Amino acid sequence: MEGKVIVVTSGKGGVGKTTATSSIGAALALEGNRVAIVDMDIGLRNLDVVMGLENRIVFNIVDVVQGRCKISQAAIRDRRIENLFLIPASQSDNKDVLTTSGVERVAKQLRKEFDFIIMDSPAGIEKGFENSIVGANEAVVICTPDVSAVRDADRIIGLLYSRGLTPRLVVNRIEPARVERGEMLSHEDVLDVLSIELVGLVPMDEQVLISSNTGTPLVLQNDSKAGQAFKRIARRLNGEADLPIEVPTHKTSMWSKIGKTFLRSK
C-alpha cells in the first residue's frame, strides 16, 4: 500500500507548523508507522534544529529533487524514535530552486518508502507553499486563536480546496485562562469562521520551547500537555476518527474555587 502525504500549513507564520510537523511525525512513528518529515522551508530550515539532528545533515530535499542523491542518502534516521526520518531543507538555496513537477515526482517515490510523509510548509502563499502541497493527499491547517491568523488560515483553506484538498484544522497555543476571561478567541470562535473539520486543540505549553531548544521530541515528554494533544492528533490522522477532541482547561486554584463558592453563597 502507498503512504500518505500530509502537508502542514498555515498562512500566517510562526503559528506552530514546524512544532506540529515534528510532533505529529514523532507520534505516528511511535505508533509503529514508518514516517518521513520533510522540511520544505527552503532557505530558512529549522525542522532539523527542533529535532536535534542539525549536525547530521549531509544531503537535503533540494539534492533529492535535483537528482544529486537518493532519498535514502538524504533521510536522517532519528536515534530516539525508530522509524522516524528527517529530510532537511537546504539553507543556501532560495524557494524558487524547486519545480513543482520535481517535488511531485519525489513525493510519489516517498509514498512507496514511507507510511506517512509530513511536509512542513513555509509561511505564506508563494512558490514554497505550492511546492509543499503539490504531492499532498491531505492537508492540516495550523491556526492560533487570533484574528490575523484566522484570516490568513481562511485564505489558505480556500487555496487548498481549489487544489482538491479537504483541509482539517488544528488550533494551537490555546490559553484557557485567557479564553475564559474573554481576552482570547475560543476554539469555537475560530471554528465558526473557518468551518472545517477540527482535528485537535493544542494548549500553550512552555515545554514546546524547551523541547525545541534542546532538540528532544515533545511527544516523549509525558508531562507535556501539548505533546499529549499532538499524540491524539496523530491518532486521528491515522484513522481513529472517533477519538474525542480534548478541550484544554486551566487548573482552577483552590483559592479561586473557594472564592467562587463564597460569592455564590452570598
Ligand X SMILES: Nc1ncnc2c1ncn2[C@@H]1O[C@H](COP(=O)(O)OP(=O)(O)OP(=O)(O)O)[C@@H](O)[C@H]1O
Whether residue 3 contacts residue 111, with contact meaning beta carbons closer than 8 Å, is answered with yes
Q: Which is nearer to Mg ion, 98 or 179 (CB)?
A: 98
Piece of 27-35, 206-214, 235-243, 255-263 that binds ligand X (CB under 6 A)? 206-214
- Least distance in angstroms from the C-beta of 125 to Mg ion: 15
For residues 27 and 231, the answer to whether their CB atoms sit within 8 Å is yes
Measured CA distances, 156 to 8, 60, 102, 133 (Å): 11, 26, 23, 11
With a CB cutoff of 8 Å and minimum separation 6, the contacts of 29 are 35, 78, 81, 82, 83, 84
By CB under 6 A, the residues from 16 to 75 that bind ligand X are 16-19, 41
Beta-carbon neighbour count of residue 184 at 10 Å? 19
Report if residue 169 touches ligand X, rule: CB under 6 A: no
Q: How many of the chain's residues bind ligand X (CB under 6 A)?
A: 19
Q: Is position 204 an interface residue for ligand X (rule: CB under 6 A)?
A: yes
Query: Which of Mg ion, ligand X, none does residue 209 bind (CB under 5 to 8 Å by kind)?
Result: ligand X
Least Cα distance to 16 among 155, 154, 186, 146 occurs for 146
Asked if 177 is part of the footprint of ligand X (rule: CB under 6 A), the reply reads no
Q: How far, rounded to the nearest angstrom, does the alpha carbon of residue 199 sit from its chain's CA centroid? A: 11
Q: Give the nearest distance from C-beta 173 to ligand X in angstroms.
A: 5
When the beta carbons of 113 and 175 are compared against ligand X, the nearer one is 175
CB nearer Mg ion, residue 92 or residue 252: 92
CB of residue 176 vs ligand X: minimum separation in angstroms? Answer: 12
> What Cα–Cα distance (Å) separates residue 252 from each residue in 19, 199, 260?
28, 26, 10
Q: Does 205 bind ligand X (CB under 6 A)?
A: yes
Contacting residues toward ligand X, per CB under 6 A: 10, 13-19, 41, 123, 172-173, 202, 204-205, 208-209, 212, 226
